[in-house]
């Protein structure tokens, strides 16, 4: 029963990440998603110290804020034109991440936040943390959090589909036509931050980039429209998370590791097929 829960949490996490992942790939922001997934850590810890409940929605808000702080600081530094964008990402996120790590080692060595689970996640713990209201068990809280995040991500992409495509393909024309690229950028970064936090239990802060980027990059190899790319990214996320789960059971390894490995395997298989001109969508 627990292992089924673990499988489902991995599956929902992979789906949640694959949706914004498609635009992260198209906007060439892979590094930004990595930076965000690290920078949400101090937000998670600080919010946890306040509410003392690991699956409280307040944690998501706190973490999303620290993710956005990273995006803002990065913009601020790169706008000075003294350093390039990638360098300013590299300047900001290790700082925020290290604050998170220091907070963990100071405050909570006895609580179930371990450096290890921060890095690669601890999916089993979240599968055990059930939502209980008036004595009735409604299953793991993660289901509800991840389900909401998937819904929010889908809504975001449906509502802003035209604007996202325009600013991604031709940001200059987008500005000229009167759309606010920066507003959309921050909205999108909020979505990525929320998703990174919700995925934290299942993937930690290192491996979540695999879930964001690899299924979408795999879909980008052969798809011809953005919609198809998103659909295929979700399909690859499903395949990788299920097969990765069984892989990790077989090797008795961290589930997130198994999923990340399978993401890579699916990418390599697809790349080979595309090179052989076997598939097109």
Closest CA to 70 of 92, 87, 85: 92
Q: Which is nearer to another protein, 114 or 185 (CB)?
A: 185
Among 6, 96, 120, 166, binds another protein (CB under 8 A): 166
Report in angstroms how near the CB of residue 33 gets to another protein at its nearest.
18
Cβ 208 vs Cβ 67: under 8 Å: no
Q: Which of residues 80-119 bind another protein (CB under 8 A)?
A: 81
SS (H, E, C) 196-260: HHHCHHHHCCCCHHHHHHHHHHHHHCCCCCHHHHHHHHHHHHHHHHHHHHHHHHHHCCCHHHHHH
- Please list the residues that pair with 130 across neighbouring strands: 140
Binding of another protein at residue 146 (CB under 8 A)? Answer: no
Q: Which is nearer to another protein, 110 or 277 (CB)?
A: 277
Contacts of 95 (CB under 8 A, 6+ apart): none
Nearest-10 crossing angle of helices 30-51, 2-26 = 130
Among 155, 177, 268, 279, binds another protein (CB under 8 A): 177
Binding of another protein at residue 153 (CB under 8 A)? Answer: no
Report in angstroms how near the CB of residue 21 gets to another protein at its nearest.
14
Burial code (b: 16+ CB inside 10 Å, e: under 16) for 236-269 equals bbebbbbbbbebbeeeeebbbbbbbbbbebbbee
Among 106, 133, 172, 276, binds another protein (CB under 8 A): 172
Q: Which is nearer to another protein, 130 or 165 (CB)?
A: 165
Binding mask 220-259 for another protein (x = CB under 8 A): x--xxxx-xx------------------------------
Report in angstroms how near the CB of residue 162 gets to another protein at its nearest.
6
Footprint of another protein (CB under 8 A) = 26, 28, 81, 159, 162-163, 165-166, 168-170, 172-173, 175-179, 220, 223-226, 228-229
């Amino acid at each position: 029963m627990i292992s089924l829960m673990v499988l489902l949490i991995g599956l929902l996490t992979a789906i949640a990440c694959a949706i914004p992942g498609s635009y992260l790939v198209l906007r060439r922001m892979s590094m930004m998603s990595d930076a965000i997934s690290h920078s949400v850590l101090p937000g998670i810890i600080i919010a946890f110290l306040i509410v003392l409940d690991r699956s409280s929605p307040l944690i998501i808000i706190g973490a999303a804020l620290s993710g956005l702080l990273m995006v803002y600081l990065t913009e601020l530094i790169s706008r000075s034109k003294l350093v390039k964008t990638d360098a300013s990402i590299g300047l900001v996120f290790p700082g925020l991440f290290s604050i998170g790590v220091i907070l963990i080692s100071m405050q909570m060595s006895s609580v179930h936040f371990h450096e290890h689970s921060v890095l690669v996640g601890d999916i089993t713990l979240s599968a055990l943390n059930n939502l209980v209201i008036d004595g009735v068990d409604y299953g793991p809280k993660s289901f509800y959090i991840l389900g909401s995040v998937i819904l929010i991500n889908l809504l975001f992409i449906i509502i802003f589909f035209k604007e996202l495509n325009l600013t991604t393909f031709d940001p200059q024309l987008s500005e000229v036509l009167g759309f606010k690229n920066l507003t959309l950028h921050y909205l999108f970064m909020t979505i990525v931050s929320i998703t990174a936090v919700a995925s934290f239990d299942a993937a930690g802060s290192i491996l979540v980039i695999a879930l964001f980027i690899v299924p979408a990059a795999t879909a980008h190899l052969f798809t011809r429209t953005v919609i198809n790319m998103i659909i295929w990214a979700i399909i690859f996320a499903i395949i990788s998370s299920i097969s990765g789960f069984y892989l990790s059971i077989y090797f008795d390894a961290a589930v997130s590791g198994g999923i990340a490995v399978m993401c890579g395997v699916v990418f390599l298989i697809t790349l080979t097929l595309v090179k052989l001109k076997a598939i097109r969508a």
